[in-house]
Amino acid sequence: MSYTLKLRIWRGDKDGGAVEDFPVEVSEGEVVLDAIHRVQATQAGDLAVRWNCKAGKCGSCSAEVNGRPRLMCMCRLSDFEEDEVITVTPMRSFPVIRDLVTDVSFNYEKAKELPSFSPPPRDADGKRRMAQVDVERGQEFRKCIECFLCQNVCHVVRDHEDNKKAFAGPRFFLRYAELDMHPLDTHDRRELAQGAAGLGMCNITKCCTEVCPEGIHITDNAIIPMKERVVDKKFDPLVWLGNKIGIRNKDNDGRTEV
């Protein structure tokens, strides 16, 4: 059941590189990462690639397969014709370190800018109570494996390097939404999401949702509700008036702005 896959891999570093041919034996049930590993073991021992679990759980092996952002471990060869050429290139939005490995530090920097969860004291018995239905909204977002494919595909930074400073990207809008929907959090991060994180720059083209290997509805369930919450606060004339004359919106109950 095996055949020779016409595999092409981008090789190079920050000074430049090119796509090279690596014809390689593959067999039934294999994924792109298997083919890459075989190239590494038999043809190019120093081929740089990131991977950990090979099970779609750690989000390390992100790359672009025939131009589409994918996890290489979840990209089955059976989805391609046997005579089809498969070209693997590094994620385009991040600087290349070597071969398929990119410098994703942008994401780790953005993570540091986000104020963390801030709960009230526990209940008298030392436990906390939340309803399943309330935690489920945040749980969807916490399925995120930080593969950064959504960050990679987002055209706000993919095509405009200079936006990176002012734009946290879909992965972190997810985190803002998660905390905003957390039944126990006491922070109000709406100003921050809109201001420092650049939520307003997103024009909901849903590219992020399309590439999410976890199937998280990033745009519909996180970004749009978050945008609505910001709009409610900033632009609703009644809320604006209430704030002006000192009537607090119920929305702010138990939360303080950070």
Q: For residue 76, what are the contacts with CB-CB under 8 A and spacing of at least 6?
A: 29, 30, 31
> To the nearest whole angstrom, how small is the minimum distance from the Cβ of residue 90 to other proteins?
12
Applying CB under 8 A, does 248 fall inside the site for other proteins? no
Stretch that binds other proteins, among 137-145, 163-171, 193-201, 233-241 (CB under 8 A): 137-145
Stretch that binds other proteins, among 116-124, 202-210, 233-241, 246-254 (CB under 8 A): 116-124
Q: How far apart are CA 61 and CA 48, in angstroms?
A: 11
- Site string (117-136) toward other proteins, x via CB under 8 A: x-x--x---xxxxxxx--x-
- Site string (44-63) toward other proteins, x via CB under 8 A: xxxxxxxxxxxxxxxxx---
Strand locations in the chain, DSSP E? 3-13, 16-21, 24-26, 62-65, 68-71, 85-89, 96-98, 101-102, 187-188, 256-257
Residue 188: half-sphere exposure toward Cβ, Cα within 13 Å: 14
Residue 85: half-sphere exposure toward Cβ, Cα within 13 Å: 9
Residues 74-103 that bind other proteins (CB under 8 A): 74, 76, 97-99, 101, 103
Give me 209's structure tokens.
Answer: 């949702």
Give me 99's structure tokens.
Answer: 């071969």
Applying CB under 8 A, does 31 fall inside the site for other proteins? yes
Q: Rule CB under 8 A: choose which of 142, 159, 204, 251 binds other proteins.
A: 142
Applying CB under 8 A, does 64 fall inside the site for other proteins? no
Size of the site for other proteins (CB under 8 A): 62
**88 - beta bridge partners?**
9, 65
- Among 20, 153, 2, residue whose Cα is nearest residue 77: 2
Q: Rule CB under 8 A: choose which of 3, 21, 23, 139 binds other proteins.
A: 139
Q: How far apart are CA 108 and CA 88, in angstroms?
A: 25
Contacts with other proteins, residue ranges (CB under 8 A): 13, 27-31, 34, 40-42, 44-60, 74, 76, 97-99, 101, 103-105, 108-109, 111-112, 116-117, 119, 122, 126-132, 135, 138-139, 142-146, 179, 182, 215
